[in-house]
Amino acid sequence: MNVVLLVVDSLRACSLDGPPTLRPRTPFLRRLNTETIHFRRAYATECWTLPAHCSMFTGLLPSEHGAHFQTMAYSDRAPTLAEILAAAGCQTEVVTRNSLFDGTIPGATRGFLANTRCLAPASGRIDALPLVVAFAKPRVRRLIRRSGFFGTLQRENRNFVRTLARMGIPADRLVLDHALQRMADQRRRGQRYFLFLNLYDVHAPYSPSPTSPLRSFGSLSGCAENLALPFVLPRISGHAYLRPGFRVSAWTRRMLLARYHRAIELMDEKLADFYTAARAAHLLDDTLLIVTSDHGEAFGDHGLYFHDASVYDTHLHVPLWIHHPDVAPAVVDDVVSTRDLFGVMRNAGLGHGMAETLLDPAYRRAHPVALAEHFHYPHTAGLLAEYTQNLTAAVVGTRKIILRREGAELYDLGSDPGETAPAHGTLADFESACRGDGVPAAAIAAAVAHVRRASAARDRPAVRVGSSARTRRVDTAAGLPASDQR
């Protein structure tokens, strides 16, 4: 069977589940609720792109696969899904404009035989807004500093600037059209395939137009928004919200959320066209199609913006729809983890059954648990202490625990879905509450073991490692020399 993994970057579940007057208009995604297996309680393993994708590609947690903010690479020996399926004769390809999958992050695209980058058509000018937002990102600034980018005006540097600017222009229709062509070509050749699409148009700067990150200057509100963006987006992109004294107005929060919801509506239209064309050409008759997200997004929720420093549901709870030619549509309310998509895709690509995967109801009922982590970014100075720590979370049924340096926070997501009223307790309290809910013992045991591992790593003292050049601090919670993290 063929496999298509379609990840809408930054699409959070809560924006799709809100009251009709507050959520974006998404007729196609709501149609998927009844035409596919719709998982209403799916959770990512991290709050940003690299670790969340590596979990889907390996079935491992970030602490196991090791690809996160403190390494910026995947170097584990565990084979990726693309490696497994390529070895089995599948054509494997990643299609996106997301720079995390352009080959510069070691191991992020391991096993993909083709890497196709779809950018908006080049123009004679450089679009300033995407460029300003990109240069505000700490990872981009570090790359520029290390490379001596501004030392000489090389042609390569001018090309880099143009590419960076084009990345902020909507281009996901090109990605989806390319995928349709590839699917049709591979079918004609009788070639099995695994296509991974990372769709970026819902990601910041949340383009409200099919062709531009700006609104029309034809209205007063459009002018006000366009003039505010060069000041607002770089501050947030540069992690200002993690530093003392950060403030944004209520108008700014509403403006950003409105842009985000408009970007979701435009994505809904593009996905509808892709799905309709694929079905009309019978390309889904022998294809597993997964539509999901890698993480959510924040707009002032818990004092956070974009996607960082969080294991809250606004970042971890993601939509998930699965089309399998041999499995009837259904609505699933069991807690599941997107890292378990690895088993579904591997089995489908290798021609195995769906036993012991997310598509096995008995397996889901016995394992209603999702585990998550966050490894903090170590290269930004001046952050509040609460954002300079690794985090751990587990969801079992309606119960959730978050482990911080300061202690454990317990939530009942059934009565407090926004996680606004934490109860400070212990792991034993969490375990007892889960037992009281009648949750399967295996799910409770997995969550408890996860939290205990994180607690043990946190309690181990830092080790000083001497060298002739410098003294390196080893953060045992991350398992890396801090001076070598990048």
- Same domain for 382 and 359? no
Number of domains making up the chain: 2
CB atoms within 10 A of CB 127: 19
Examine the pLDDT at 67 and tell me if it is beyond 60. yes
- Considering 298, 331, 366, which residue would you say is the last residue of a domain? 366
The whole domain housing 313 covers 2-366
From CA 403, how far away is CA 140, in angstroms rounded? 30
Where residue 9 sits, what CATH number does that domain have?
Answer: 3.40.720.10
From CA 192, how far away is CA 196, in angstroms rounded? 14
Report the SS3 class of residue 96. strand
Average pLDDT over residues 253-266: 97
- Same domain for 463 and 437? yes
- Same domain for 326 and 470? no
Examine the pLDDT at 194 and tell me if it is beyond 90. yes
At 138 the pLDDT is 62
- Copy the structure tokens of residue 224: 């006000």
Most confident of 138-142, 143-147, 219-223, 407-411: 407-411
From CA 91, how far away is CA 2, in angstroms rounded? 9
At 362 the pLDDT is 95
- Same domain for 115 and 28? yes
At 234 the pLDDT is 85
Q: DSSP for 419-475?
A: --SPEEE-HHHHHHHHHHTT--HHHHHHHHHHHHHHHHHHHSPPEEEE-SS-EEEEE
Examine the pLDDT at 440 and tell me if it is beyond 90. yes
Percent of the chain with pLDDT over 90: 76
- Considering 315, 348, 366, which residue would you say is the last residue of a domain? 366
- Same domain for 426 and 475? yes
Examine the pLDDT at 147 and tell me if it is beyond 60. no
Average pLDDT over residues 2-13: 98
Cis peptide leading into 230, omega within 30 of 0?
Answer: no
74: pLDDT confidence band, cut at 50, 70 and 90?
Answer: very high
- Considering 310, 336, 366, which residue would you say is the last residue of a domain? 366
Examine the pLDDT at 461 and tell me if it is beyond 90. no
Examine the pLDDT at 472 and tell me if it is beyond 50. no
473: pLDDT confidence band, cut at 50, 70 and 90?
Answer: very low
User: How big, in percent rounded to 5, are the helix, strand and coil portions of the chain?
Assistant: 40, 20, 40
At 471 the pLDDT is 27
- Same domain for 128 and 207? yes
- Same domain for 65 and 129? yes
Q: Render the burial of 42-53: b for 16+ CB within 10 Å, e for the rest.
A: bbbbbbbbbbbb
**Structure-token match 């996607």, residue found:** 307
- Same domain for 252 and 371? no
Q: What is the largest CA-CA distance in the chain?
A: 66
- Same domain for 467 and 330? no
- Same domain for 15 and 156? yes
Residues in the chain: 486
**Terminal Cα distance for the chain, rounded:** 38
At 379 the pLDDT is 85
For 155-171, what is each residue's pLDDT tens digit? 455 566 667 667 778 99
Examine the pLDDT at 126 and tell me if it is beyond 80. no
- Same domain for 124 and 251? yes
For 332-381, what is each residue's pLDDT tens digit? 999 999 999 999 999 999 999 999 999 999 999 999 999 999 999 988 88
181: pLDDT confidence band, cut at 50, 70 and 90?
Answer: very high
Average pLDDT, the chain: 88
450: pLDDT confidence band, cut at 50, 70 and 90?
Answer: very high
What burial class does residue 481 get, using C-beta atoms within 10 Å of its C-beta: 0-12 exposed, 13-18 middle, 19+ buried? Answer: middle
- Same domain for 352 and 394? no
